[in-house]
Amino acid sequence: MVDTIRILGIDPGSRITGYGILESVGSSSRYIDSGCICTESADFTERLNEIYSRVRALVIDYEPQQMAIEKVFVHRNADSALKLGQARAAAICGTFGSNLQMFEYAARAIKQAVVGRGAADKVQVQHMVKAILKLDKLPSQDEADALATAICHAHSYPLNNVLLSGSQDANGRSSRPTRSASRAAWRRTAG
């Protein structure tokens, strides 16, 4: 029997943080809610507090068991990456005090899981999220990114459990699976 898992997906940003909440049962996901936390204060610490408070309220209201969040990617601007990292940390801190498990995914992995290409653009992500979740309207880009993060986790989590459960030696000690073992396990579960 497959358990229902409620997942909170977060697309962090210091001005706009997207969130999406799904219920996942096996390979199917059901849309619960999504939106954006828009911070308008000129004071950066006030924006971080808003992100923290709103994520905290989401955790209290929806009681997710797991959170999936996008990893910070540093491209050119180190200052922007630092601000993004702080916004991400504020969102993570908003989950403290709950028994929520946290999982991180690279942006390319999220796009790959939803669109099938790691270099997909935001419009493609929006359209695929709408199609996968059978939404009536196109979600905003930040909402779609958060929902895509939750979808990526919903699809990855069962495989990760298979990999982790099969990665113990004869003495019950965990060992990290190799890439080839990961691929072989994926072929067994996907095929």
Active-site residue, selected from the candidate residues 11, 23, 143, 145? 11
11 in catalytic set: yes
CB 115 within 8 Å of CB 124: yes
In the sheet that holds 66-70, the strands lie side by side as: 28-38, 16-25, 4-11, 66-70, 101-105
Return d(Cα 152, Cα 77) in angstroms, integer. Answer: 27
Q: Percent helix, strand, coil in the chain (nearest 5)? A: 50, 20, 30
Active-site residue, selected from the candidate residues 23, 50, 142, 143? 142
Residue 35, Cα to own-chain centre: how many angstroms? 14
Active-site residue, selected from the candidate residues 23, 70, 143, 145? 70
136 in catalytic set: no
CB 28 within 8 Å of CB 134: no
Supply the residues annotated as catalytic: 11, 70, 142
